[in-house]
């Protein structure tokens, strides 16, 4: 199998050195890519927009068996859906308390949805940072995986220059594995962040069709937020309590774009959300202002 390579050299690169605008990491090693800026940006954009249901292109081109991502090409409004940062305090925000007998648009419900968002905001940011730390620390072993190496070889066989293929595969692999790490972390900590008695819960990588109906069939999925906040509701006294989506989050690790406005609108309308989807962005990956 081809020796793993990265865009900065034959050993997979050192990554996190700030050459692409990310917050520098204290790592050794230098080097540069000979790929043109325009060609590199074009290939990264194509890789980043692959595989999300609802797109004409494939956004997630990770190794075989990787869960496809969904949504739409990244947009031009990086602040879309962002919420103001909650000041750090010595004690955590109070637990929310949902009333399942009230409708989603009831003022009391809206207040508790906001309380739930505030409650989990800091921890979701920490988990996003941890996800990027994980892929940054394990960059070489991730790129050495057979699926990513096979992907790189196919690109080169198709006529792509090696340095461009290295760059595309690295960006794709890092983003895919960061999402996978966040998915696992949220699943493991969901009940701790929002205990069941609050009437709220967090879930990750839940797919929905165009009408906002949850579906596990990937081909039927129109969009799939990385994390959703749900609340219990009871249509009537005779009905069993059900769950409905109250807020959505999407992890963004690219330096050029944030949540696409069109995708945010589609998710907001299909799920009848009181607020637009919120962006989760690792602190190490600030959005470029260039």
Cα angle vertex 128, ends 14, 169, to 5°? 40
Give one word for 224, left, alpha or beta, with left for phi > 0 and alpha for psi -120 to 50: beta
The whole-number average pLDDT for the span 221-242 is: 92
Lowest model confidence (mean pLDDT) among 18-22, 114-118, 171-175, 228-232: 18-22
Q: What CA–CA distances, in Å, run from 77 to 1, 60, 100, 123?
A: 41, 21, 34, 24
Mean pLDDT over 90-114 rounds to 94
* Predicted local distance difference test score (pLDDT) of residue 288: 81
- Least Cα distance to 43 among 194, 195, 186, 151 occurs for 151
186: left (phi over 0), alpha (psi -120 to 50) or beta: alpha
CA distances to 69, 123, 181, 237, 264 from 176, rounded to whole Å, are 8, 21, 9, 44, 20
pLDDT at 257: 87
Q: Whole-number mean pLDDT of the chain?
A: 79
Q: What pLDDT is attached to residue 34?
A: 39
How does pLDDT run across 73-95, given as a tens digit for each residue?
444 444 455 555 555 556 889 99
Which residue in 69, 68, 67, 62 sits closest to 142, CA to CA? 62
Percent of the chain with pLDDT over 70: 69
Residue 85's pLDDT is what?
55
- pTM, entire model: 0.71
Q: Which two tokens stand for residue 184?
A: 């696992």
The pLDDT of 135-152, averaged and rounded, is 96
Window from 48-57, 231-240, 276-285 with minimum mean pLDDT: 48-57
pLDDT of residue 62: 45
Judged by average pLDDT, the poorest of 5-9, 112-116, 195-199, 213-217 is 5-9
Query: Residue 53: its pLDDT value, please?
Result: 46
Query: Helices 107-137 and 162-193 sit at what angle, rounded to 10 degrees?
Result: 130
pLDDT of residue 42: 53
């Amino acid at each position: 199998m081809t020796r793993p390579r990265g865009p900065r050299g034959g050993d997979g690169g050192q990554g996190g050195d700030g050459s692409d605008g990310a917050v520098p990491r204290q790592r050794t090693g230098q080097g540069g890519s000979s790929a043109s800026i325009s060609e590199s940006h074009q290939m990264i954009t194509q890789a980043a927009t692959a595989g999300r249901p609802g797109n004409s292109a494939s956004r997630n081109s990770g190794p075989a068996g990787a869960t496809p991502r969904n949504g739409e090409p990244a947009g031009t409004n990086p602040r879309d859906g962002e919420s103001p940062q909650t000041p750090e305090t010595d004690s955590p925000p109070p637990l929310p308390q949902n009333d399942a007998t009230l409708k989603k648009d009831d003022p009391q419900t809206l207040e508790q949805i906001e309380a739930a968002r505030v409650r989990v905001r800091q921890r979701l940011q920490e988990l996003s940072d941890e996800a990027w730390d994980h892929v940054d620390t394990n960059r070489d072993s991730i790129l050495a995986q057979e699926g990513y190496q096979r992907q790189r070889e196919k690109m080169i066989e198709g006529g792509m220059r090696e340095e461009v293929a290295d760059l595309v595969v690295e960006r794709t692999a890092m983003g895919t594995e960061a999402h996978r790490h966040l998915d696992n972390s949220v699943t493991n900590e969901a009940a701790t962040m929002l205990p069941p008695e609050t009437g709220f819960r967090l879930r990750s990588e839940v797919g929905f069709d165009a009408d906002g109906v949850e579906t596990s069939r990937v081909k039927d999925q129109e969009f799939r937020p990385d994390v959703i906040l749900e609340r219990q509701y009871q249509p009537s006294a005779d009905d069993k309590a059900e769950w409905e989506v109250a807020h959505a989050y999407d992890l963004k690790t690219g330096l050029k774009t944030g949540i696409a406005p069109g995708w945010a609108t589609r998710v907001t309308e299909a799920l009848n959300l009181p607020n637009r989807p919120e962006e989760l962005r690792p602190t190490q990956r600030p959005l470029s202002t260039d």
